[in-house]
Structure 1
Amino acid sequence: MTSADDSGDGVGPWAIVRLPDGQDLRAMVLERRQEHDGSWWYQVVITLLEKNDVHGVMKAVPAPVSFWAPSATCSPIEGEDYVLVPTTRAGHIARWLVERRVQAPGQEGPQLLVHRGDCGSVRSSREEVDPHRAWEVLQQPDAAQCPVCRPERALIAVLQ
């Protein structure tokens, strides 16, 4: 889904995003969403640098930054495949969500988080799933339940 020659983590395809000052940046597309007014927005992530103290020595380390951009500021890149980008429409609440977390290199924690569909703590790319798929994901070693909405009990109840 990503360009093979890029150092991305394979979460999504790349696009060009035009910033308000006219700069064009290459950004990974995580999600697209249609709002109530019909407008489309794209959640994208770029990697910037941040200061990190490693044993008393300051180092610049990669730091992913996610933001929403209106579709008018996003341009596709030839050869990128956007078919698998999670797409949602306003007013539709999924019963279960799987979040693919965007993490800086070396950052600890699960790559996937399972949420209830109405959870407000989802921060990265998400996919709507049925309860069976949510349970399958929850059983993976790189997955965990959201510590806010804690969907495991509700999933067990639905699957029984």
Structure 2
Amino acid sequence: MHAQTGTGGGTSAGTNGIPRDRLPRALVCLADDQILEVRVTRRRHFRGVWWYDLVLTLPDRRDTPRGPVRDVTEVAFSAPYPDVQPIPGEDYTILAPPPPEERRRWRLSEAPPGSPHDVVVHRLHCAQGGMSQQLATDREALRMLADPEEAVTCSVCRPDRVLYPDGVGPHDGGEPPYPRSLGMGHGPGDLSANVDRHLAEGGFGDS
């Protein structure tokens, strides 16, 4: 559980880019059988279990030169279904990830001086990508990599292993293969597949 300061501290629990007023509400059953209303920031499916990232807003105190004043604290935590239950009428579709072709999962950084390339393509959390905020979808990355003077893949995080699952890069001859995340050639090796399961597997949020 992670407690973070509310209005007084200027920071709050992460919402994964979803506006706070649009976060859907849900009910969570605590270890002592209390049932509380929380906000849901994210959901994920892991080994047959749906997990939900939640935010609970609690009353708190903020100290000022004139004495304590009322404030709030947000507690971020996770719980699985069925400990987390939907509230009728809430829209959970906002929690679904964008379709594969729209996911910006590659970070672009400027190539080092002297490089024959303009851009280096990294996995999203590769340290070699630095603080660059320029992101790209699979299709955008492939278009840049098709030009050897424009872009090259990072030799540390090796995004080419995902973009070119068949081991054929854009400069090995012929047309570059499309990544499986674009819906062309799905198979067991599809690393980007994020197929939403329905209530049959014990979860909620698809509709």
Question: TM-score w.r.t. structure 2 length?
Answer: 0.41
Structure 1: gaps spanning 5 or more residues:
1-7, 98-115, 120-147
Contact 2:106–2:135, Cα closer than 8 Å, also in 1: no
* Structure 2 match to 1:83: 93
* Equivalent of 1:33 in 31, 44, 50: 44
1:74 corresponds to which of 77, 84, 94: 84
Structure number with higher strand proportion: 1
Please name the residue that 1:21 is paired with. 32
**In the TM superposition, what are the counterparts of 1:52-131 in structure 2 within 5 Å?**
52-87=62-97, 95=105, 117-118=124-125
**Percent identity over the alignment?**
32
Residue of structure 2 in register with 1:151 after alignment: 132
TM-score for the superposition, normalised by structure 1:
0.52
SS at match of 1:10: helix
Q: Kindly provide the amino acid, as one letter, of the partner of residue 78 in structure 2.
A: W
Q: In the TM superposition, what is the alpha-carbon distance from 1:59 to its structure 2 partner?
A: 1.8
Tell me whether 1:49 sits opposite 2:59 in the alignment. yes
- Count of residues in correspondence between the two structures: 101
Q: Distance in 2 between matches of 1:14 and 1:82?
A: 9
Poorly superposed stretches of 4+, deviation over 4 Å: none
Alignment gaps of 5+ in structure 2: 1-18, 108-122, 145-149, 151-207
CA RMSD in angstroms, aligned pairs only: 3.4
Question: What's the offset of the Cα at 1:63?
Answer: 1.4
Larger Rg: 2
- CA drift at 1:117: 3.2
Note if contact 1:95-1:118 (Cα within 8 Å) is conserved in structure 2: no
